[in-house]
Amino acid sequence: MTDKKQHIALLFGGDSSEHDVSKRSAHNIFDAMDKDKYDVSLFLVTKDGFILDDASSHRVFAGEAEEDVVAEVVPKLDREQPLAPILNLDSTKKIDAFFPIIHGNLGEDGTIQGLLRLLQKPYVGSGVQASALAYDKDFTKKILTATGVRNTNYVLVTPGNVTDWDYAKISQKLDSKILFVKPSRQGSSIGIHRVENEAEYEAGMQDALRYDTKILVEEAIEGPEEVEISILGNEQPEASKIGAIKVPAGDAFYTYDNKFVDASAVQFTIPVELPQPVSEEITRMALRAYQALELKGMARIDFLVSKDFTPYLGEINTLPGFTNISLYPQLWEATGISYTELIDRLIELAKDEFKRQAAILHDFKPLQAKDQKKVYKAK
């Protein structure tokens, strides 16, 4: 331990449907951080996209109603100032690293990563491009398929081709009577529907298009078991043990309500017992996907295991939850890494990646005009 404390900033909240989930994750991370090692600043991103200062964010953390704090603080901001939404980050010169824990839109899609890169600060998690790719299920599946990582077959539906695809045509193409309709760029089961007839398909598609202009319609896997694995690392990532989720009877999949509203009937098995070859294949697939997408820091990767024990990669979460029931930290605890140690390692990984990127930029020397001409002539 160094004599000087590191100054870490938690960024949480956001304008997505997972705003309150993000607040709970941030609380748990804050509580788990070693205060002998870290000074911690808080920056709450409101539902309207304004970043509150440290003092106001601490008031919300202490139990004041967020609506009351926002109503008091935000009207005092100069709305004519173009940087008003992010102006409270002007104190970041004293921050050693950021820990963004904004789930969904703004947090996992590369937006906040771009801001932190402009601020030239280390931050936990993947970079701009990797975050954006992993957040888009369509792009993710294209990369997985190209790199040989098994995933479910699907049809991509957009406002431009929605009239070309009805339930009958897609179910025939995918050879599946049961289909899953899901927005390409959403998290936590928002806008996802299990359908098995035309009426359900049309209703599910109408709802999904509220959240995104790209909709995946996926085949169903027979008798699937939902399992999850946690990944930690940069260039040489490591995988946790595997955990399983069993949803309540009557629920077709792990819904938003199961995850965040009432998880009392959800059963978690950590670690889950699977045939060793299946566990090994899931681990290989997860690590291959992590590296193919060039992810950094952490990810929770979800799989479906079919009735015949064939694993399919379902979804990748680059900023997984840290709530009391979130599997990412639980899986690492089962693997031998405590919550507090996990936070330490994520911060160190953020700083290592920042140094690596800085070294690349420092060593990169653009060719002079005369040297460029030599290269072009050689071609």
Nearest to 130 by CA among 282, 357, 364: 357
pLDDT at 249 over 90: no
Give the CATH number of the domain where residue 308 resides. 3.30.470.20
User: Quick check: is 270 in a domain?
Assistant: yes
188: annotated active-site residue: yes
Residues 33, 116, single domain; the answer is yes
Shared domain for 236 and 316, answered yes or no, is: yes
Q: Which of 2-6, 45-49, 104-108, 251-255 has the highest mean pLDDT?
A: 45-49
Give the pLDDT of residue 341: 97
pLDDT, position 187? 73
Q: Per the annotation, does 108 bind a ligand?
A: no
Q: pLDDT at residue 129 above 80? A: yes
Q: Is residue 130 part of a domain?
A: no
Residue 261 pLDDT > 60: no
Which of residues 288 and 2 earns the better pLDDT score? Answer: 288
Residue 299 has pLDDT above 90, yes or no: yes
Q: Does position 189 have pLDDT exceeding 70, yes or no?
A: yes
Instruction: Give the pLDDT of residue 318.
Output: 96
Residue 17 pLDDT: 84
In a domain, 324, yes or no: yes
Contact 319, 103 (CB under 8 A): yes
Residue 361 lies in a domain: no
Q: How does residue 263 score in pLDDT terms, banded at 50, 70 and 90?
A: low
CA distance 368 to 252: 60
Active-site choice (56, 176, 230, 326):
326
Q: Please check if 105 is assigned to a binding site.
A: no
Q: Which amino acid is at 22?
A: S
Active-site annotation holds for 326: yes
**Which whole number is the average pLDDT over 16-39?**
94
C-alpha span between 369 and 77 (Å, rounded): 47
Whether 133 is in a domain gets the answer no
pLDDT tens across 351-370, in order? 999 999 988 876 666 655 55
113 and 213 part of one domain: no
Question: 319 and 251 in one domain?
Answer: yes
User: Are 177 and 96 in a shared domain?
Assistant: no
CA gap 68, 72 in Å, rounded: 6
- The fraction of the chain above a pLDDT of 90, given in percent, is 78
Per the prediction, the chain carries an average pLDDT of: 90
Domain that holds residue 67: 6-124
| Higher-pLDDT residue of 372, 175 | 175
Does residue 46 form part of some domain? yes
Yes or no: say if 25 and 108 are a contact pair by the CB < 8 Å rule: no
Residue 167 has pLDDT above 90, yes or no: yes
Mark whether 186 and 286 lie in a shared domain: no
pLDDT in the model for residue 1: 46
pLDDT of residue 231: 98
Active site residue 25: no
Q: 99 and 37 share a domain?
A: yes
Q: How far apart are CA 218 and CA 178, in angstroms?
A: 9
Residue 70 lies in a domain: yes
Number of domains in the chain: 3
* Token reading at 140: 């993710």
pLDDT at 97 over 70: yes
Predicted pLDDT at 376: 47
Confidence of residue 80 (pLDDT cuts 50, 70, 90): confident
Give domain status of residue 331, yes or no: yes
- Kindly name the residue from 16, 17, 18, 228 that is annotated as catalytic: 18
Cα(106)–Cα(145) distance, integer angstroms = 27
- The 3-state secondary structure of the chain reads CCCCCEEEEEEEECCCCCHHHHHHHHHHHHHHCCCCCEEEEEEEECCCCCECCHHHHHHHHCCCCHHHHHHHHHHHCCCCCCCHHHHHHHHHHHCCEEEECCCCCCCCCCHHHHHHHHCCCCECCCCHHHHHHHHCHHHHHHHHHHCCCCECCEEEECCCCHHHCCHHHHHHHHCCCCEEEEECCCCCCCCCEEECCHHHHHHHHHHHCCCCCCEEEEECCCCCEEEEEEEEECCCCEEEEEEEEECCCCCCCCCHHHHHHCCCCCEEECCCCCCHHHHHHHHHHHHHHHHHCCCCEEEEEEEEECCCCCEEEEEEECCCCCCCCCHHHHHHHHHCCCHHHHHHHHHHHHHHHHHHHHHHHHHCCCCCHHHHHHHHHHC
Do residue 188 and residue 241 come from a single domain? Answer: no
For residue 248, the model assigns a pLDDT of 58
Q: Are residues 97 and 30 in the same domain?
A: yes
- Would you place residue 375 in the very low, low, confident or very high pLDDT band (cuts 50, 70, 90)? very low
315 is in an annotated binding site: yes
Say how far apart CA 212 and CA 171 lie, in whole Å.
22
176 and 280 together in one domain: no
Indicate if 183 and 214 belong to the same structural domain: yes
